[in-house]
């Protein structure tokens, strides 16, 4: 039975990574990722995309903050 659990965990990891990549690709194309999340049916995809959208926006803010010169927008 532990072999089956390992297989399910591996499938879950692979499927999650695939769905995350889909949303990242949409972000890179300039698509409105929050709207894509809202358009999803409830379920695994929506769960993954919801958490991924939050991470994308957090990374986006961090990158933007790093690009600003010291002392604000001088």
Evaluate whether 1 touches 31 at the Cβ level (below 8 Å). no
Evaluate whether 53 touches 34 at the Cβ level (below 8 Å). yes
User: Could you give the CA distance from residue 66 to residue 60 in angstroms, rounded to a whole number?
Assistant: 10
Give the model confidence (pLDDT) of 5-44 as tens digits: 888 888 899 999 999 999 999 999 999 999 999 999 999 9
Strands (E), the chain: none
- Residue 31: its pLDDT value, please? 98
Q: 3-state DSSP call for residue 69?
A: coil
User: Could you give the CA distance from residue 32 to residue 8 in angstroms, rounded to a whole number?
Assistant: 32
pTM reported for the whole predicted model: 0.79
- Residue 61: its pLDDT value, please? 95
Q: Does residue 51 have a pLDDT over 60? A: yes
Domain ranges of the chain: 2-66
């Amino acid at each position: 039975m532990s072999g089956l659990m390992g297989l399910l965990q591996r499938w879950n990891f692979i499927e999650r990574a695939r769905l995350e990549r889909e949303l990242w690709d949409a972000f890179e194309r300039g698509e409105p990722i929050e709207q894509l999340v809202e358009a999803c049916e409830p379920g695994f995809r929506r769960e993954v995309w919801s958490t991924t959208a939050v991470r994308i926006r957090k990374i986006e803010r961090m990158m933007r903050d790093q690009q600003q010169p010291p002392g604000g927008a001088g």
